[in-house]
Amino acid sequence: MRWDTGMNDLRIRPAGPADLDPVLTFWRTAAEGTSISDDRAGVARLLTRDAGSLLLAERADELVGTVIAGFDGWRCHLYRLAVHPAHRRQGIGSALLAAAEERFVALGGRRGDAMVLQRNERAQHAWRAAGYAPQEQWLRWVKPLSG
């Protein structure tokens, strides 16, 4: 699968089971912070439930970016937009977001929302540049669940 990224050497594709370990390793280098779901079982569950949700950007067979574009039938959620530090500011994040938004529209989604750490100013700038804006009236409430 290839989205028109304007960069002929960039390929964006959905992740598969063989990508679990490389993605987890990539996130330790490229993603800001960690999540309770950042383990092999968590990513495997994601791929089982929503097979096309984890999008990978590759250049010359090297993983250079990711985004999770999850759709639950009601809302479109964006997580783990990450670009390898050596490949930032080259349009990879924008290409991943365009692919995610295209996926959402094809699934009937109406609005994308992104989880962005308050302390991650670089990410906030990138999301604003992509047309996203914070909703100050909302707070995220979480409760870890035991299995």
- CA-to-CA separations, 26 to 23, 64, 94, 120, 141, in angstroms, rounded: 5, 8, 18, 18, 27
pLDDT of amino acid 83: 94
Residues of the chain with pLDDT under 70: 1-8, 33, 147
pLDDT of amino acid 118: 82
pLDDT of amino acid 137: 82
pLDDT of amino acid 7: 57
User: What 3-state class would DSSP assign to 79?
Assistant: strand
pLDDT of amino acid 3: 45
pLDDT of amino acid 128: 87
